[in-house]
Amino acid sequence: FLRDLGFNVSEISFALNNWNDDFIYELLDKKQNEIKNIIKSEQNKIIKIKQAKNDIKKEKLLINCNVSIKSVPSYSVFTLRRIVDDYYAEGNLWIEMSDYAEEHNIELSNNTFTIYHDREYKEKDVDIEICAPVLKMGDNKNGFVFRITEPVKTMACMMVYGKFDNITNAYITFANWLEEHNQYRMTGKTRQIVHKGPWNEEDCNRYLTEIQIPLKKRNELKT
């Protein structure tokens, strides 16, 4: 009976050596929860397969951008926020920050990220804040600011491989994902982390960018 329920040999031996009604009831309850979690995991895989098949039928060819959900903690960061001509001007901000940090002996972490303060896509006059985690806070000078970022309980994340041009398709993928998961709504400011870029990868086809989009469930927005 226990074998048919998915118990392995060691679990069966342990159950037989400790047999009583309360113990077996607790054991069965635990196994039931394990099976439920397995079923949920497999159902999620089925959902992802259906989404991938739909993408292929619609000729979107965007299934390389898988959406996952995670929480993001707060960080102590050294930042520079500017309104720049366009998104491509972000690189100049990183050069400016790097030069300033070197001049003032500010030790920066490699786990840098960017916060986009505009609520929608803009062709020009883009509000960008670049952030570098630090171990020690300092004084704010010349537009450079030390601050603590807000934690995000529910963050949708997508890993985008290849050229930066692929990021546009990633946002389209997310829009489609959001339509199918309408229990969520976008909220807050999007972030972007370039794990592999021009400074540590020569081949642009091997770039790796993580897009982070804050979410809230419908019931959380109502409260």
Query: What per-residue confidence (pLDDT) applies to 128?
Result: 95
The mean pLDDT value for 130-155 works out to 93
Residue 1 has pLDDT above 60, yes or no: yes
Query: Buried b vs exposed e over 2-36: b needs ≥16 C-beta within 10 Å?
Result: beeeebeeebeeeeeeeeeeeeeeebeeeeeeeee
- DSSP bridge partners of 211: 158, 192
Residue 72: strand, helix, or coil? strand
Each residue of 53-105: pLDDT tens digit? 776 665 554 445 678 889 999 999 999 999 999 888 888 999 999 999 999 99
Residue 150 is given by DSSP the state P
**Closest C-alpha among 93, 88, 98 to residue 164:** 88
> What band does 111 get if pLDDT is binned at 50, 70 and 90?
confident
Residue 127 is given by DSSP the state E
pTM over 0.75: no
> What band does 15 get if pLDDT is binned at 50, 70 and 90?
confident
The mean pLDDT value for 173-178 works out to 83
The mean pLDDT value for 121-146 works out to 92
What CA–CA distance (Å, rounded) separates 165 from 43? 33
